[in-house]
Amino acid sequence: MLPTGTPAPDFELHSTPDQLLKLSELRNKKVILAFYPADWSPVCDDQMTLYNEMGKYFAKHNAQLIGISVDSKWCHLAFSEDHKFHFPLLADFEPKGEVAKLYGVFNEKTGECQRALYVIDEEGIIRWSYLSPVGINPGADGILNALEELDNVKSTN
Domains of the chain: 22-156 (3.40.30.10)
108 pLDDT more than 90: yes
Percentage of the chain lying above the pLDDT 70 cut = 99
Instruction: Check: CB of residue 42 under 8 Å from CB of residue 137.
Output: no
Q: What is the pTM of this model?
A: 0.96
pLDDT score recorded for residue 154:
75
20 residue type, one letter: L
pLDDT score recorded for residue 134:
87
Tell me which of 8, 23, 44, 65 is the catalytic residue: 44
Q: Is 75 a catalytic residue?
A: no
Instruction: Check: CB of residue 100 under 8 Å from CB of residue 68.
Output: yes
Residue 25: DSSP 8-state: G
